[in-house]
């Protein structure tokens, strides 16, 4: 009888654990790479949007977003993204005094366990004519 009770307890704990792991957010990005192509330095800056959907079953919270260099400025929603809803991360790249090709990454930290989303921007800045 004790073995049956212990077995039922273990099964109950496993079921609760499984239910908790299913109740998680998950971001699905429309794209994770944006290629600006060739852009002129005199533009000053270029911007793109990385749109995503929370395909999980609980609210998605973006805790922080960090860029690989100071020439890249991300902005992101501060409010939770509910299941099934969309959000976007805006990324601005400064072209001033940065001629040549570039490849920068943006790390997105959320409340999704053990997951860091990585976004990439790339392109080639054509220098100003002197």
CB 125 within 8 A of CB 102: yes
Give pTM, 2 decimals: 0.82
Instruction: Determine the pLDDT at residue 9.
Output: 54
Q: How far is CA 42 from CA 2, 11, 49, 115, in A?
A: 78, 65, 21, 37
pLDDT at position 47 over 90: yes
Output 11 or 112, whichever has higher pLDDT.
Answer: 112
Give 81: exposed, middle or buried? Use CB within 10 Å, 0-12, 13-18, 19+: buried
Q: pLDDT confidence of 57, banded at 50, 70, 90?
A: very high
pLDDT at position 17 over 80: no
How far apart, in whole angstroms, are the C-alpha atoms of residue 41 and residue 86? 32
Q: What CATH code would you report for 26-126? A: 2.60.40.10
Of 76, 77, 64, 68, nearest to 111 by C-alpha is 64
Q: Containing H/E element for 2?
A: helix 2-22
Q: pLDDT confidence of 15, banded at 50, 70, 90?
A: low
């Amino acid at each position: 009888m004790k073995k049956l009770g212990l077995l039922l307890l273990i099964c109950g704990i496993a079921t609760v654990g499984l239910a908790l792991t299913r109740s998680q957010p998950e971001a699905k990005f429309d794209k994770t790479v944006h290629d600006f192509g060739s852009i002129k330095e005199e533009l000053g800056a270029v911007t793109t949007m990385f749109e995503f959907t929370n395909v999980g079953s609980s609210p998605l919270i973006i805790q922080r977003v960090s860029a690989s260099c100071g020439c890249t400025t991300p902005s992101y929603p501060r409010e939770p993204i509910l299941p099934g809803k969309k959000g976007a991360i805006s990324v601005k790249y400064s072209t001033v005094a940065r001629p040549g090709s570039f490849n920068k990454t943006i790390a997105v930290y959320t409340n999704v366990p053990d997951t860091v989303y990585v976004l990439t921007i790339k392109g080639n800045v054509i220098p100003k004519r002197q």
